[in-house]
Every structure is written in C-alpha cells, then in structure tokens.
Chains A and B, each alone.
Chain A
C-alpha cells in the first residue's frame, strides 16, 4: 500500500473545511448550520490525522480523538438548543431568536 502524501490529504481537508464554512454562512436553517459545523470539525480532524501520519506519530490520532469528543459534546448541546428554539418559535430560522426577553 503506497503512502498517501500528506499534502493530498491536507488539500482534501481544506476543501471540506471550506464547504463546511460555506454551509454555515449560507444556510438559514439552524440544523444545516450545525451540519456545517460538523463538516468543519471533521475536516480539521482529517488535517490532524494527516499530519500525524506524515510525522509517523500517534499524536495526530490522539488530537482527532479530542476533536471528536468536542464535536460530540457540541452536537449534544447544540441540538438541545435547537429543540428549545423550535419549541419557542416554531421555526428553525435562527433569525427568529434575535430579540432578548422572549
């Protein structure tokens, strides 16, 4: 199995990160914004693993594990907040929650 050049994997991570960022900027539904954030976290984890593979150390995978933990905790809290938003405003448009005081 020939090794994958880390530059190729990093290019893929950059493409995925840019797509996730575009999703966060463009989509109006909070669910899709959270999906964009997940794509970005996945891309950054890919960059970590590629760097670890390049240097031949396990630290890249450890960093990916930590990024995965952060993503899981963020998804749990973010989706709970999304449920609260839907409960209050009956919509998933984050602009509906632009005023304080309910």
Chain B
C-alpha cells in the first residue's frame, strides 16, 4: 500500500508541476514523470500490460511528439514569458476554485456508495493478466480494435494533410 501512496503522491506532484510551468519543455518532462507514476499505479492494480503501454505509448510516443513540436516551433523561454504576464491571480483563481469544487463533488459522488474492496484471489488476478487482455481484445472486442485502427488511420491522414500544407506554403 505504501507503494501506491508513494506513486500517487509523485504523480499528483509531477502533474501539478507540469501544469504550472511556463517553459514548455519543463512542463513536458514533469508530465513524463507523472505518466511513469500512473504506470506504477497500473502495475499495482494488477495490470502490467497497460502499465507497459502507458510508458511506451503515452510517455514514449505522445510526449515525444509534443517535444518534437516544441522543438519545431522553437518554443523557448519567450513563449513562456508572454504567458506569465497574463497569469495574474484574477485569471486563475476562479477556474481553480471551480475545479476544486468539481473535485470535491467527484469524490463525494464517486466514493459515497463504494462497496468494500473485494479480496483478490488468484482467479481474479489471472483474469486481468496480459493473456486475458489479449484474449478479450481478439474475442468480444475485435470490432473495437478494428474501429480503433480506422480512427488511427483518420488521425494519420489528417495530421499528414495539415502538416504538409504548412510546409508547402512555407516553401512557396
């Protein structure tokens, strides 16, 4: 349990750092730490497959894509300072308060009628093992996997089209 609380603390702290930094690269590196913390929580929940996926895809591909864009646009300290001037307390106070109220509401509603935690037996642990995930993906959720592939194709085509247009305009 202490492993979970430690991972949760690191995740929350890293996310708080990530969303309050003005330098984009600092924010993204803190975000990587946050994703690693979530991966540890996944592992502690008995889901090693998605723990690996979180590291490989989220921290290893999505954040790297963000870093590529930051490097492409050469967003350094200049981009951060311009925004710092706009982040006066009157800009973030009310959204932060509203978000805190939402969080309290989420916790009260979500955990109000929570049933007691079921004891983990080996059968339940085997049911969330990677082999079981694979069987579920290729069994009942096969259509969802195909649709996810189509979604990725649509995203690929859209990103390629949008990115190519900008490059061609710059060349002309």
Contact = CB atoms under 8 A, between A and B. Distances in A.
Nearest to A23: B19
Interface string A38-60: 11001001100110111011111
A14 B46 contact: no
A97 interface: no
Given A8-B4, A52-B128, A26 B50 contact: no
A37 to B, nearest CB: 11
Given A3-B120, A83-B163, A28 B83 contact: yes
A49 B106 contact: no
B159 A79 contact: yes
Given A26-B92, A35-B27, A46-B38, A58 B152 contact: no
B155 A72 contact: yes
Contacts of A19: 12, 15-16, 19, 99
Contact of A80 (B49, B124, B162): B162
Which has the most chain B C-beta neighbours within 10 Å: A32, A49, A58?
Answer: A58
Contact of B117 (A7, A46, A60, A73): A7
Given A21-B99, A53-B46, 6 more contacts: A12-B41, A32-B19, A58-B136, A61-B128, A82-B69, A87-B166
A12 B40 CA distance: 13
Interface of B: 1, 4, 8, 11-12, 15-16, 18-19, 24, 27-28, 31, 34-35, 38, 41-42, 44-47, 49-50, 53-54, 57-58, 61-62, 65-66, 69-70, 72-73, 75, 79, 83, 86-87, 91-92, 95-96, 98-100, 102-103, 106-107, 110-111, 114, 117-120, 123-125, 127-129, 132-133, 135-137, 141, 144, 148, 151-152, 154-156, 158-159, 162-163, 165-166, 169-170
Nearest to B1: A2
Given A35-B66, A62-B144, A83-B166, A29 B117 contact: no
A83 B111 contact: no
15 contacts: A4-B45, A14-B103, A21-B102, A26-B91, A26-B92, A31-B24, A38-B58, A42-B35, A49-B42, A62-B133, A68-B54, A72-B152, A83-B72, A84-B165, A92-B79
Contacts of B127: 56-58
Contact of B11 (A12, A20, A57, A62): A12
Interface string A16-36: 111111110111110110111
Contact of A77 (B106, B118, B162): B162
B106 A17 contact: yes
Given A10-B110, A25-B95, A53-B46, A39 B31 contact: yes
